[in-house]
Amino acid sequence: MTDTDDPLRLLADGMLGRLARWLRLLGYDTAYEKDANDLELARRARAEGRILLTRDRSLAARRGLQTLLITSERVQEQVRQVVETLGPPPHPALSRCSLCNVPLEPATPQQVADRVPPYVLQTQKRFGICPTCGRIYWAGTHLQHMKRYLGKSLSFGSSENAENG
């Protein structure tokens, strides 16, 4: 399945940057438009078949758009609302770049040896790399921190990639 064939694709408006990053880490395809106006957001959501996530009531009420009005100001509650309303992420947790929203590609320890701390290289066997920005991900304590922050009710799947520090 290609990235554009995802059954659930999201677009977060400029007020929801932290939510977009968390959703990416959870495995949702979540585009983010920091500076787009309402018309640009609506056009992109329609053109790409994305559900628009917004805290703007008037934008959420626009006809012809699939939207989810995010009601909380707290990111933990925002994530819960998305998961409870739209269902679990279509991809494993920590399978997308948290910055670029691009699926990670597998990398060998040899490929990342000069870019990760020696301890990580000694203790980890699987790595993911963002083909766009080059950021490297690996299984580490980040997954446990995310679970504690978001609560045990959210499933994290069986992904073995985690964001680097």
Q: What percent of the chain has pLDDT over 70?
A: 85
- DSSP H helices, the chain, are 17-26, 38-48, 57-60, 75-86, 109-112, 118-123, 142-150
Q: What is the pLDDT of residues 14-24, one digit of tens each?
A: 999 999 999 99
**Average of per-residue pLDDT values in the chain:** 87
Question: What local confidence, expressed as pLDDT, does residue 92 receive?
Answer: 86
Closest CA to 94 of 48, 10, 158, 43: 158
Closest CA to 152 of 161, 143, 160, 165: 143
Question: What local confidence, expressed as pLDDT, does residue 137 receive?
Answer: 87
Count CB neighbours of 127 within 10 A: 27
CA of residue 19 relative to chain centroid, distance: 8
Please name the amino acid found at residue 11: L
Count CB neighbours of 57 within 10 A: 9
Has residue 51 got a pLDDT over 70? yes
Q: What is the pLDDT of residues 70-111, one digit of tens each?
A: 999 999 999 999 999 999 999 988 899 999 999 999 999 999
pTM: 0.83
